[in-house]
Amino acid sequence: MSHKYLQLVVISLFLMLTISNKIIAQPDQIERLWYNEEKTAKIQVYKSTNGKFYGKIVWLKEPLRDGKVKIDIHNPDKKRHNDPIIGLMILNDFQKKGTNEYVEGTIYDPKNGKKYSCNILYKDNKLDVRGYYGFSFFGRTTIWTKTED
């Protein structure tokens, strides 16, 4: 077998593996940009290398407060008060359960500085985001919609 032929085989195998991995590794249905219920923020939801889902604020309708970038002034950790809201991680550690449920995560609300247990249900191209304390029935559900992006 010639050296050039061997190189061609190796390159062909590499390309086939690369292409097949791209085809197989389709993004999950919730991996995209979402509007919060009020459409005042866009949240980028993504799957991390640990297999869990996360979301961070990437856009605000009103990014400024008193002429300055909005910061996390309600965070209970005073060291985080200067963290910008844009870029803030608000969804953490969600595990996919079945086809449309994402469970055992948390959601952080920068409006009040509180963190809640949270489950997400994907249905009708929307997210039912339910934050709660203790038991799910002690909570509130908001509906997030897909952005046009």
Q: Out of 15-29, 57-71, 131-145, give the one with best mean pLDDT.
A: 57-71
pLDDT > 60? residue 13: no
pLDDT > 90? residue 14: no
17 SS3 class: helix
How many Å apart are CA 6 and CA 27, to the nearest integer? 34
Terminal C-alpha separation, the chain = 51
Beta partners for 140? 131
Give the pLDDT band of residue 4 (cuts 50, 70, 90): low
pLDDT of residue 138: 87
Of the two residues 22 and 58, the one the predictor is more confident about is: 58
Give the pLDDT band of residue 132 (cuts 50, 70, 90): very high
pLDDT > 80? residue 3: no
> pLDDT tens for residues 45-77?
999 999 999 999 999 999 999 999 999 999 999
pLDDT of residue 136: 81
Predicted TM-score (pTM) of the model is 0.81
pLDDT of residue 148: 86
**DSSP conformation class of 25:** -
Q: Could you give all domains of the chain from N- to C-terminal order, each with its CATH number?
A: 28-146 (2.40.128.520)
